[in-house]
Amino acid sequence: MKLFRRMATSLLSVCVVVSMFYQPAQGHRSQPAELYHRAWELVKDNYYDANYNGCNWVDLEHKYDNQLKTTSDAYKCIKLMLESLNDPYTRFLDPKAFQDENDAIDAHIVGIGINLQQPKDSTRLVVTRTIENGPAETAGVRAGDEIVAIDGENAVGMSPEQAAEHIRGKIGTPVQLALKHGSQNKTVCITRQEIAIHAVSTKQLSSGIGYIQLSTFISSDASKEFRAALQKFANADGIVLDLRDNPGGLLSNALEIADMLLENGSIVSTISRHGRHTDFSSGEPMTRQPIVVLVDEDSASASEILASALKDNARAIVIGTKTYGKGLVQEINRLPGGAAIHVTVSRYLTPSGSDINKVGVMPDIAVAEKSDQMKVAVAYLKEKIASLKPIKTSSLYQSE
């Protein structure tokens, strides 16, 4: 059965998303009340939980009617309405934030070149990755740094999305970050630049093993870059696929990349209020090389879909630590005037039927120390490769 494909767009945090855009009629100028009601209606019709997480959604339809005088009022009230769901993934994006997402999909953003994560049950903002030779890395920002202030404003308690709004700005303008790493504190001033987002990096390891690091599923080029990496290592004996620190992105990328590797089986099932849908591999993989997948606690969303698909179909061995546990799917809906809302529209199950939300994907081989994970992966692959090589029969024992 051929792989089902769907149009998708992305989030900047740990999310998998599909897209449904609402376009007002040409020439239509939305009034604040119409804008608010459109957002309310999108959640009413599409939210994955028919009970709305215990929220009385009907009561919110006209709750703020007397406050909706301007577009800014509508934006504020939409945020308050969505917060009633107590769902961090269903949220509002103003036009600037929505444009930032589209720029990320196009693989070009104006910023400083970092990935941010907020550990579970924490108010800290931690840098999980810096883009090689990007402005942040050049200024001395490193993975593991905690951002405590942005341009003098306290950043503790900010979500990664809120921090991104503060950090991004016009090209050539400066942003000041106060950083903490252990007991050390420092302040850096970084000039914003246009950043080209490369989802894939590769290198050749010893003994004929290829290494592919997939750092994001956000870029629309991610699957194309991954295909090129597989072609580069077509003659390798095995592949290490590194999904550590990968917060997710486009569902379509996860589906396409899984299909490049799977010989058969399902990839993921999504369950919404409107039914269940399962995506299957096409059965035409680009490679049958042995694969090890590296994961950690920051591997989330699309990363978990890919790791689960390969693990549950016995296509790869997963090594590392338990993943983040993001098993919900968001839909990005464009609103009149250029804003948008993310709406959680479904939950997903792995091919084995597991719901990994708030649970995560358990590795086949648990290795706590990050520095040891690659060593274990290479050792496993070498043993696997050796077991697959045919035993040569000496000519002295061949029959005439």
Q: Is there a single domain that holds both residue 154 and residue 257?
A: no
* pLDDT of amino acid 71: 95
* pLDDT of amino acid 45: 96
User: In the numeric block, which tokens belong to residue 275?
Assistant: 């039914």
* CA-based max dimension of the chain: 97
Instruction: Please say if 312 is a catalytic residue.
Output: yes
Strand partners, 249: 16, 217
- DSSP codes of every residue in 23-78: -PPTT----HHHHHHHHHHHHHHH-S-TTGGG--GGGGSSTTGGG-SSHHHHHHHH
Please provide the size of the chain in residues.
400
Q: Is there a single domain that holds both residue 288 and residue 367?
A: yes
Q: Is there a single domain that holds both residue 179 and residue 255?
A: no
What is the C-alpha to C-alpha distance for residues 260 and 227, in angstroms, rounded to an integer? 8
Q: Is there a single domain that holds both residue 292 and residue 321?
A: yes
- Tell whether 209 is covered by a domain: yes
* pLDDT of amino acid 202: 96
- Tell whether 120 is covered by a domain: yes
Instruction: Please say if 355 is a catalytic residue.
Output: no
Q: Is there a single domain that holds both residue 188 and residue 205?
A: no
Instruction: Please say if 296 is a catalytic residue.
Output: no
User: In the numeric block, which tokens belong to residue 399?
Assistant: 């029959």
Q: Is there a single domain that holds both residue 226 and residue 310?
A: yes
C-alpha 157: how far from its chain's center?
Answer: 21
**CATH code where residue 166 lies:** 2.30.42.10
- Tell whether 27 is covered by a domain: no
What is the C-alpha to C-alpha distance for residues 90 and 42, in angstroms, rounded to an integer? 11
- Among 140, 161, 196, the domain boundary falls at 196
- Tell whether 125 is covered by a domain: yes
User: 212: closest CA among 287, 101, 140?
Assistant: 287
Q: Are 290 and 233 in contact (CB under 8 A)?
A: no
What is the C-alpha to C-alpha distance for residues 66 and 107, in angstroms, rounded to an integer? 41
**CATH code where residue 358 lies:** 3.90.226.10
- Block residue for tokens 């903002």: 125
- Tell whether 229 is covered by a domain: yes
Per the structure, the count of domains in the chain is 2
Number of helical H runs and strand E runs in the chain: 9, 21
User: 351: closest CA among 387, 316, 379?
Assistant: 316
* pLDDT of amino acid 30: 53
- Domain containing 228 equals 200-328+345-387
Catalytic residue among 145, 259, 326, 346: 326
Four-point Cα dihedral 86, 249, 124, 362, nearest 10:
90
C-alpha angle with apex 167: 166 to 171, nearest 5 degrees? Answer: 120
Burial of 263 from C-beta contacts in 10 A (0-12 / 13-18 / 19+): middle
- Among 162, 196, 230, the domain boundary falls at 196
End-to-end CA separation in angstroms for the chain: 48
Which phi and psi (to 5°) does residue 145 adopt? -65, 140
* pLDDT of amino acid 51: 96
- Tell whether 272 is covered by a domain: yes
Q: Is there a single domain that holds both residue 220 and residue 306?
A: yes
Q: Is there a single domain that holds both residue 146 and residue 232?
A: no
Cβ-Cβ contacts under 8 Å for 295 (sequence gap 6 or more): 243, 244, 303, 304, 307, 318, 319, 320, 321, 323, 361, 363
- pTM for the structure as a whole: 0.78
* pLDDT of amino acid 19: 34
* pLDDT of amino acid 161: 79
* pLDDT of amino acid 392: 47
Grouping H, G, I as helix, E, B as strand and the rest as coil, residue 338 is: coil
Q: Is there a single domain that holds both residue 280 and residue 354?
A: yes
Which phi and psi (to 5°) does residue 354 adopt? -80, 140
- Among 141, 171, 196, the domain boundary falls at 196
Which phi and psi (to 5°) does residue 191 adopt? -90, 125
Q: Are 85 and 370 in contact (CB under 8 A)?
A: no
* pLDDT of amino acid 169: 85
- Tell whether 314 is covered by a domain: yes
Q: Is there a single domain that holds both residue 204 and residue 174?
A: no
Q: Is there a single domain that holds both residue 135 and residue 235?
A: no
User: 240: closest CA among 214, 262, 266?
Assistant: 214
Catalytic residue among 301, 303, 308, 346: 301
Which phi and psi (to 5°) does residue 173 adopt? -95, 155
Catalytic residue among 237, 259, 296, 312: 312
Q: Is there a single domain that holds both residue 280 and residue 381?
A: yes
C-alpha 62: how far from its chain's center?
Answer: 35
The stretches in the chain having pLDDT less than 50 are 1-29, 392-400
* pLDDT of amino acid 107: 65
C-alpha 244: how far from its chain's center?
Answer: 11
Which phi and psi (to 5°) does residue 147 adopt? -90, 120
What is the C-alpha to C-alpha distance for residues 87 and 14, in angstroms, rounded to an integer? 13
- Tell whether 128 is covered by a domain: yes
